[in-house]
Structure 1
Amino acid sequence: MALDVRIFETISPSRFISFTIPNPISPIHLLRVAVLDTPVHCTESSPPRVAAILVPKHRESDWIFSTESGHLQLLLNLPDISRLILIGDDHDGGSDLPAVYHRPTGEDDESESLEMRLKPLVVALSPKTLIREEIDDVPFLIYDDNVVSSVVLEKSVGPFVGEMLIEDVEIEIEDGVREFRRRLRFKRMPNLVQSDIKIIPSSCSNSSLPLTGTEFKLHLTELVHPYLAPMVASLSLIGSDIYELKSRPKALCIGVGGGGLLSFLRLQLGFEVTGVEIDPEVLRIARQYFGLEESLARVHVEDGIEFLKRLSTSCDDDAKFDVLMVDLDSTDPIHGMTAPPVEFVAKDVLQAARKVLVPSGVFIINVIPPNKTFYHELQDQFRHVFDELHEIDVGNGENFVLIATVTPRDSKSGFNRANLTPAVSDNYLDAIQKI
């Protein structure tokens, strides 16, 4: 059945349609066209705007471009755009993700020619409320990230997180400087790297080595995920009696992911580490691919909220923790990724969290607020239960680290700069602010 383009005359919130057309440059090949409308209702004061993206060559089957959830995250990162049109080669439906990807080198003259040939299509897919000047001005945006090459190690399915992907990548961290990473991504939010660690070629540190055929070793004593170093810097607010009457400080981590934080706390800072992870398949991946050994952390496969509530009713003073670190997220169709899940900051959960901490302890949590109102309300929830509240702005335009203390802090601390540097940057230690 032919597609009636009249359905595109208006914005229909969250409508997602994909179809194929012959490639105007190479008619024997097909292009996949995917059209997504914003989940936010347009108003007369905010007329619809349209943009198109040509999917990067050889990445057409990446979940970022081939799934509705990936498309949605691209759209949500363009707050002024009401309809986003993705156009790329139609990949083989039998292969979900390419095993190996290499960024094309040299000029791509075909993309410029393809844009010119596809302009009438973009016009046909634009709402009729757009005036002629607006239609002529519909931009073709360029998707660009730092991935130079990648190789898929495994695709798996967890009972709670769903489909996930483990991959080794070579990234460009700045001009001329590249680094190898091992990453974990979830299909429900493919644009977000859930966990990553640095990997180093076993034979040498030559970053020009290929991903395939090279043996790598894990580098577990350096944190590369953007908000983990700020979370570790927050340990400077643990009370000054951290080392009194105990051989090791104790950390409880809810949300394990790849386990990089847990391994770092044990190997670099000497903590006794307990973890809680709801999905057993995620834990299996953390141990198989990310170096989380049983000797480094004791991990419970359980819902984090249920674990906290149960522990708060049974643990004595000797079983309490010096720090509780929480890294959990949730998704919704309007805001995309948020952290933490709303249910985790309910008053009874925060009270349970306080009960499992020693008086000198701190509660450290990664926050991705969808808006300022959410963030201020979350802070108020913490203030009702904890004594003091501090924050670190991670500086990536997305994450904040909140630190709540059980009792007031004095000028001394158990983890001063000598303890934490060079493990984390002075910049993060200086960025801690009481709020």
Structure 2
Amino acid sequence: MSLLPRTAEEFSSADYWDRFFRKRGEKSFEWYGDYNSLCGVLHKYIKPRDKVLVVGCGNSELSQQLYDVGYHHLTNIDISETVVSQMRQRNAQCRPDLIFQQVDATQTGYESGSFQAALDKGTLDAMASEEEGALAGRMLVEVGRVLAVGGRYVCVTLAQEHVIRLAVQHFAGAGWAVRIHGLSQSGEDSDSSSFALPVFILVCTKFRQPPPFAVLEVCQGEDGAPCRLATVEELLARVKEQQAYALMLQKLRGGTDTGSTPSLTLCHASTGHARYTLTVQDSPPSAKVPRANHFAIFIVPQGRESDWLYGSAEGRAQLASSAKFRRLIVVAMHRDQEYEDMQAVQSELSPMVMELAPPGMPPNQQVPFLSVGGDLGWREVVARGVSGLTGEYSVEDVRGEDGHLYRRLVFMNNAHLVQSESRLQTSTAASSSHKKRSKKKSKRSGSDAPACVGTGQSVNRGFLCCTHHEVMVSGLALLGPEAISGKDVLVSVLVVGLGGGGLPQFVRDFVPGARVEVVELDPAMLDVATTWFGLQTDDRLKVVLGDGLEYINRLQSEGGHSYDVIMFDVDSKDPTLGMSCPPPAFVERSLLEKVCKLLTPRGVFMLNLVCRDSVLRRSVLERIQAVFATVYSRPIEGEVNEVLLCSRGGREGDKPCAASKELQQAAKSLQVALQKGGHSAPFNPQVDIGAMLKDLRIA
């Protein structure tokens, strides 16, 4: 039978604890650890000469062990008459000065300021249930009363949120200094190891006069340097992080689970800034792994974190399979951090990653660090700014796997997803006017970096980095060869969603006769696209700032507007919806009907759809199919994206199928037109329009 309480309410019951200690008998019960595991911190804050009130002593041997090393002024109190009697009898002969009294911790009767320290091992946790928080609050008030100025409340706790919040808010609100030590789990004691959460020691120091600012600090382990925090919420967040880490370690030590890929972030102890993100990837039991290959660490090159191989669960599983280790830790380095070399990174990570080793790994096993050619990669943050809609963003240059330099836009609230990307190219020189314009723009966006990386680097507007952009451009062939035969034929294009501006700029530069209109909700994105991604507006490319939904509604209600192509390339700001592109309102039937009415008879509606929820995806497709006569789907290999190409006229048989001669002829015409269309840079020769369209399928 378990001797732990069945419900939280029992913790505060004197009858419960009497029954508990009768069943327990003479065997001590060491909540959360014994003297050996706690003494390192206790001796820092409690001196042998201090008068100490031990709150809720139970039958723990902690007071006895403290007495034996010189602490002879200990007053132990407990609500249970049974345990107080047991402890008096146990210590009467060998420790005659060790005091045990049956006292209610919420009303002790001791004189105010009569103790220099109050020691609490598990009592606050026992009293601070969700329903009984008021009882624990009264105990904290009483502890504060009996402590002298300079006295300390030292509490050993599991730091469950409702418990630690109650204590920290109470003492911080009273102007006390608050410090929390997070202790590693030894797992040696049979009682303490039954708790999955790590043990913390809360130290609250009473000041004569409250300081002008809150003193809130967190320490890692016994000897960790204190890290000062600004708010109670920040302190509680640090505690949660340590608890999550301990729970993850416990799970990882229990065995491997290929269906779970837990990750954690390692931060600088002094600053709290994120430095590494570690993702655990286990190989399936059926994998053919050499017997000696237990564990390895893979360092992702800087700037490559969002690559499919490193940034997706499927990619990391493939990476682990190729590496042939039972467990692979995939390590990503954070932006705005400096890394000396591979050896320095290994030295920094080695102490921490060994805690993540798989169960059964032999002791002293050599753990290899793997990388791509031993290179840490390269990344330079060229601009930082803040958008009122998307929060903080970063513009950064990285070196790709192919050796080329790329410029990326990343929203920091989803730092592993590249919002926009362009390839950089070497030009003869950047004009002085461009430099002046970039400097002016950078001040407006809060950046002090130059627009180009290195001398003569500029954005290659003829290179499409996103496969879904390549598919959308290829889909122009559905307009027919006559629509893209030359500049005398107007092709009107409406794009909802600007990003870095690569797609609308490409259409304007390379599609003969194209007139592009872009609707963008976020003014900061127009600034970013113009300053850092080479967007140039003119009479053939204009950007309208506003809500895309309202803009379409207005165009349709006004009448007289029509487009050959309407493209939706806009992401959702809510990651919980199961569909990250587009926001749900953009695929409501009422809006889709208006989009259809805005298309010319030959027109094509293009939608970048990113939906992981199969039921939701099916619902979206049904709505689109109810409005558009023909709907093609083109999945993007290795990604969740698919591009939907939708036309309004005729049923399936009235439009050319993907393999038809008519569409292939249109693809050839488009390929030739694109190669002739650009002036600032050649069209990316890697894009094969015909090949792109061969993979179209009826949705």
Match runs of 1:205-284 below 5 Å: 213-239=454-480, 242=483, 247-270=489-512, 271-284=514-527
Q: Is the 8 A contact 1:53 1:140 kept in 2?
A: no
CA distance in 1, matches of 2:510, 2:458: 17
What code does the residue aligned with 1:155 have? R
Q: Is the 8 A contact 1:53 1:143 kept in 2?
A: no
After TM superposition, the structure 1 stretch with the greater mean CA deviation from structure 2, 161-170 or 277-286, is 161-170
Of 373, 376, 380 in structure 1, the residue corresponding to residue 618 of structure 2 is: 376
Residue of structure 2 in register with 1:309 after alignment: 553
Query: What whole-Å deviation, never above 9, does each CA across 1:231-260 have from its counterpart, x for those lacking one?
Result: 111112125663699732011000001101
Q: Provide the secondary structure at the position in 2 that maps to 1:283.
A: helix
Distance 1:20 1:361, change over 3 A: farther
After TM superposition, the structure 1 stretch with the greater mean CA deviation from structure 2, 194-203 or 212-221, is 212-221
Q: Provide the secondary structure at the position in 2 that maps to 1:338.
A: strand
What code does the residue aligned with 1:165 have? S
Q: Is the 8 A contact 2:266 2:274 kept in 1?
A: no
Match runs of 1:179-190 below 5 Å: 179-190=404-415
Q: Give the CA deviation at 1:151.
A: 1.6
What code does the residue aligned with 1:234 have? G
Distance 1:141 1:350, change over 3 A: farther
CA distance in 2, matches of 1:65, 1:359: 51
Residue of structure 2 in register with 1:417 after alignment: 668
| Structure 1 gap ranges (5+) | 11-18, 39-45, 124-130, 205-210
Residue of structure 2 in register with 1:432 after alignment: 696
Distance 1:48 1:379, change over 3 A: closer
Q: Give the CA deviation at 1:325.
A: 0.8
Residue of structure 2 in register with 1:338 after alignment: 580
What code does the residue aligned with 1:111 have? Q
Q: More strand by proportion, 1 or 2? A: 1
Q: More helix by proportion, 1 or 2? A: 2
Q: Provide the secondary structure at the position in 2 that maps to 1:223.
A: coil
Q: Provide the secondary structure at the position in 1 that maps to 2:691.
A: helix
Residue of structure 2 in register with 1:128 after alignment: none
Q: Is the 8 A contact 1:147 1:169 kept in 2?
A: no
CA distance in 2, matches of 1:61, 1:223: 34
Distance 1:56 1:75, change over 3 A: farther
Q: Provide the secondary structure at the position in 2 that maps to 1:148.
A: coil
Distance 1:51 1:313, change over 3 A: closer
Q: Which has the higher contact order (CA 8 A, sep 6+)?
A: 1
Match runs of 1:71-110 below 5 Å: 77-78=312-313, 97-98=336-337, 108=343
Distance 1:195 1:63, change over 3 A: farther
Residue of structure 2 in register with 1:154 after alignment: 383
Q: Provide the secondary structure at the position in 2 that maps to 1:384.
A: helix
Residue of structure 1 in register with 2:196 after alignment: 9
What code does the residue aligned with 1:97 have? D
Residue of structure 1 in register with 2:352 after alignment: 118
What code does the residue aligned with 1:221 have? G
CA distance in 2, matches of 1:378, 1:20: 50
Distance 1:114 1:249, change over 3 A: closer
Query: What whole-Å deviation, never above 9, does each CA across 1:24-49 have from its counterpart, x for those lacking one?
Result: 9xx9999x9775799xxxxxxx9995
C-alpha RMSD of the superposition = 4.8
Query: What whole-Å deviation, never above 9, does each CA across 1:95-140 have from its counterpart, x for those lacking one?
Result: x825xx6x765x538637944x3367558xxxxxxx9669x9xx99
Q: Is the 8 A contact 1:260 1:290 kept in 2?
A: yes
What code does the residue aligned with 2:603 have? G
CA distance in 1, matches of 2:599, 2:574: 31
Q: Give the CA deviation at 1:269.
A: 0.9
Residue of structure 2 in register with 1:361 after alignment: 603
Count of aligned positions: 379
CA distance in 2, matches of 1:104, 1:114: 13
What code does the residue aligned with 1:217 have? S
Query: TM-score scaled by structure 2?
Result: 0.46
Q: Give the CA deviation at 1:371.
A: 2.8
Query: What whole-Å deviation, never above 9, does each CA across 1:35-67 have from its counterpart, x for those lacking one?
Result: 5799xxxxxxx999564568799xx9679849x
Distance 1:213 1:197, change over 3 A: closer
After TM superposition, the structure 1 stretch with the greater mean CA deviation from structure 2, 180-189 or 256-265, is 180-189
Q: Give the CA deviation at 1:150.
A: 1.8
Q: Give the CA deviation at 1:432.
A: 1.5
After TM superposition, the structure 1 stretch with the greater mean CA deviation from structure 2, 163-172 or 276-285, is 163-172
What code does the residue aligned with 1:428 have? M
CA distance in 2, matches of 1:143, 1:198: 24
Q: Is the 8 A contact 2:267 2:276 kept in 1?
A: no
Q: Is the 8 A contact 1:52 1:86 kept in 2?
A: no
Distance 1:220 1:20, change over 3 A: farther
CA distance in 2, matches of 1:406, 1:63: 51
What code does the residue aligned with 1:3 have? G
Q: Provide the secondary structure at the position in 2 that maps to 1:251.
A: strand
Overall identity of the aligned pairs, in %: 23
What code does the residue aligned with 2:632 have? H
| Structure 2 gap ranges (5+) | 1-179, 186-193, 198-217, 228-237, 249-256, 279-304, 318-327, 430-451, 676-682
Residue of structure 2 in register with 1:328 after alignment: 570
Distance 1:47 1:389, change over 3 A: closer
Q: Is the 8 A contact 2:474 2:667 kept in 1?
A: no
